[in-house]
Amino acid sequence: MDLSTRQGRREQGLRIQSAVEHAGLSIEDLATQIGCSRALIYQYVSGSTLAQPDRLQQIASKCGVQLAHFYTEEASGQDLPAQPLEPVDVSQRIQESLRVLDELADAQASPPNLKALVATSERLVSLAQQGGSPQEQGRAFERLGNALLSIGEYPGATAAYLRASEHAVLAHDDRLLAAVRQNLGNALLSQGHTAQAREHFEWVANSSLGPGTRWRGLLALGALDEQVGAYQDAMSRFDEAAVLLEEASASSVISEDEANIGLLYVNANRTNVYMDGSDFDDARKLALDCASRAEALGSADQFLEARFNIAWCDMHTARWADALTGLATLAQLARFVQDQRRETLANAWLAIAKACTGDFEAALNLGKEAFAAAVARGDRLSELYAQLALADAYTGIAQRSTEALYHANQALAVARGIKLERAEAEARGRLSTLCEATGDHSAALDHADRMLALASRLGARHLVALATSLQNAARASSGSPLSVADLEIALKQAQSTSYCDAVVHATAVLCRLPDVELARQQDVLQQAITLLEAGRKGLLAASIIDSILENDTFLRLYKRLAEVYIAQNKQTELQSFLEETGWPPLVSWAAGI
């Protein structure tokens, strides 16, 4: 046998398989006994990897055969089943190879070796096309689609799923078709094709395949409802999905553990609704519970999802140390399990958090890395947040407002393209701030007005408060009359959600009004700065460099409070404030007033 060729290695692989079976061992048993992974044994058996002599000697010893048995053309005299070594017809050989490759793919999926899994899945497709049935071809393309989806290669996954669906229809395999259409919807959604994704989710949700299948379609439809602000519809679908999971478990269609993992998916989506509606405290509590349950159930996917939601809440409520640490850890975990989509998203969010805390150069580098990875894979959601991160980073770097505006506009275009209105509102908020800073008050007001309309329709109270503040900031700059009452309402709304950006902007605008007494300004400034100082103390406690006051938006509040103390001749309070702040540039600035 010529071991330099794939056919020769395959012949040797069949001899290995025959010896293992004759010895009454399983692949898992052999792998354990010789100290290697079962995936490596499968690679030997399939002929994809040439077995090294030392490994073959171990296998020979465990199986009770001579080493020469794996090299000679004739059997070595051992009493082994002859059938695997005899010529077989092409169809039989294809079936055997499909089985081995399928087992290899299973081994590479858990624990994941995603690059190898993609390669094996591609071989499965190639082999199935040589003589497999429509069902075997459909399952091979589904395997490939799942592998590509796992590494965030969405266009490739879409193409594979489309081929899989064609073969599933030819095979009249509705269960395979349902699984394919569900994941096809996920791949399309990741590329921003919302309407097409919805069609596939609706097919699954309305199928006659029972609760064990239908709940996934309902869950996905609820997630789409959540994205457009139809929170009541979303929650209704989530509740219905939970009921279907309970039914499936009670009727033994799925196991109790499978049902509990399904409920984690449901609760992760409920968490999203809480966050969209500005209920960050309840969202964080539910996400913490999900993380604990996911860890107990061994669901890495949902553990990561829960930690993402926790970090999102932390980032919005000035728990910066927790957000920075959590997102950095998430990026590492996602990289470890080869989840490129979540790794990219974690880096984009980490860049946003670093920009918020004044570490603009680090934010810029992370944002560029996330952007490149997102574009390479066609990941529109990650691209959106990478663009927002780059806008934030350039905003904080002197003389880079042009780049900041460019990336904010690009983020707006992506958000509108994938019809994610909450993200559109966030992009317009950044554009309003940037236009205001560059003196384009008309554009700043237009973006703030549009942001307010979107946030109000979505019921996102924290974004309503921020939009109202940005709207009034633009009006103040253009000399238009402002309403103290409206700003007070916006401030209360911001404080009720603990949304740091909204609290800061509402406070800043309120304190620009001559009608607001100094005592009231002092009160609201102290409340906002208390929120910021809690975040700064958290950074120090976590041994993270405190660069919060490199962020000019935050620093302006500190300067304004110093001015208020001076205007009221409260020198003792001023000195105490400056000492507690511990920011030398602020002390120098105050000394020059």
Q: Which residue has the higher pLDDT, 111 or 11?
A: 11
Q: Which residue has the higher pLDDT, 84 or 343?
A: 343
Residue pair 561/525 in contact (Cβ under 8 Å)? The answer is yes
Residue 76: band (very low, low, confident or very high) from pLDDT cuts 50, 70, 90: very low
Query: Which of 407, 425, 446 delimits the end of a domain?
Result: 407
**What single letter denotes the amino acid at residue 182?**
Q
553: which residues sit within 8 A by CB, 6+ positions away? 504, 505, 508
Same domain, 229 and 271: yes
506: tokens are 């509402």
CA–CA gap between residue 48 and residue 121 (Å, rounded): 13
CA–CA gap between residue 465 and residue 506 (Å, rounded): 7
CA–CA gap between residue 479 and residue 50 (Å, rounded): 78
Q: What percent of the chain has pLDDT over 70?
A: 92
Examine residue 203 and state whether it is found in any structural domain, yes or no. no
Examine residue 205 and state whether it is found in any structural domain, yes or no. no
Examine residue 369 and state whether it is found in any structural domain, yes or no. yes
Q: Which residue has the higher pLDDT, 60 or 403?
A: 403
| Dihedral angle over CA of 320, 322, 326, 329, nearest 10 | 100
Residue 79: band (very low, low, confident or very high) from pLDDT cuts 50, 70, 90: very low
H/E element, 278:
none
Examine residue 146 and state whether it is found in any structural domain, yes or no. no
Residue pair 469/505 in contact (Cβ under 8 Å)? The answer is yes
545: which residues sit within 8 A by CB, 6+ positions away? 359, 539
Examine residue 365 and state whether it is found in any structural domain, yes or no. yes
Same domain, 255 and 292: yes
In this predicted structure, what is the pLDDT of residue 94?
64
DSSP secondary structure of 184-243: HHHHHHHTT-HHHHHHHHHHHHTSSS-HHHHHHHHHHHHHHHHHTT-HHHHHHHHHHHHH
Residue 336: band (very low, low, confident or very high) from pLDDT cuts 50, 70, 90: confident
Same domain, 309 and 387: no
In this predicted structure, what is the pLDDT of residue 41?
80
CA–CA gap between residue 191 and residue 257 (Å, rounded): 31
In this predicted structure, what is the pLDDT of residue 563?
95
Q: What is the pLDDT of residues 268-320, one digit of tens each?
A: 999 999 999 899 999 999 999 999 999 999 898 899 999 999 999 999 999 99
Same domain, 233 and 288: yes
Least confident of 15-19, 215-219, 252-256: 15-19
Least confident of 46-55, 173-182, 238-247, 562-571: 46-55
In this predicted structure, what is the pLDDT of residue 93?
64
Same domain, 587 and 560: yes
Length of the chain: 593
Domain with 350 in it:
334-407
Same domain, 299 and 388: no
Query: Which of 87, 103, 127 delimits the end of a domain?
Result: 87
Examine residue 136 and state whether it is found in any structural domain, yes or no. no
Examine residue 183 and state whether it is found in any structural domain, yes or no. no
Same domain, 370 and 286: no
Residue 82: band (very low, low, confident or very high) from pLDDT cuts 50, 70, 90: very low
Same domain, 274 and 300: yes
For 36, 412, 533, the CA distances from 380, given in Å and listed in that order, are: 40, 12, 35
Residue 403: band (very low, low, confident or very high) from pLDDT cuts 50, 70, 90: very high
Burial call 199-237: b when 16+ CB within 10 Å, e when fewer: ebbbbbbebebebbbbbbbbbbbbbbbbbbbbbeebbeb
Same domain, 310 and 342: no
In this predicted structure, what is the pLDDT of residue 72?
66
In the chain, the number of structural domains is 4
Segment 143-159 shows an average pLDDT of 89
DSSP secondary structure of 76-109: -S----SGGGS---HHHHHHHHHHHHHHHHHHHH
Same domain, 308 and 375: no
Q: Is the pTM of this model over 0.85?
A: no
| Dihedral angle over CA of 383, 386, 388, 394, nearest 10 | -140
Residue 83: band (very low, low, confident or very high) from pLDDT cuts 50, 70, 90: very low
CA 273 to chain centre: 16
Least confident of 17-21, 154-158, 170-174, 299-303: 17-21
Residue pair 155/191 in contact (Cβ under 8 Å)? The answer is yes
CA–CA gap between residue 436 and residue 470 (Å, rounded): 9
SS (H, E, C) 375-417: HHHCCHHHHHHHHHHHHHHHHHCCCCHHHHHHHHHHHHHHHHH
498: tokens are 């603990």
Query: Which of 407, 425, 455 delimits the end of a domain?
Result: 407
**What single letter denotes the amino acid at residue 70?**
F
Q: What is the pLDDT of residues 490-540, one digit of tens each?
A: 899 889 988 999 999 999 999 988 889 999 999 999 999 999 999 999 999
Same domain, 578 and 539: yes
SS (H, E, C) 485-499: HHHHHHHHHHHHHCC
Examine residue 413 and state whether it is found in any structural domain, yes or no. no
* Burial bucket for residue 517 (CB in 10 Å: 0-12, 13-18, 19+): exposed
269: tokens are 């989506």
Same domain, 307 and 351: no
Any idea what the CATH number is for the domain that residue 291 is in? Answer: 1.25.40
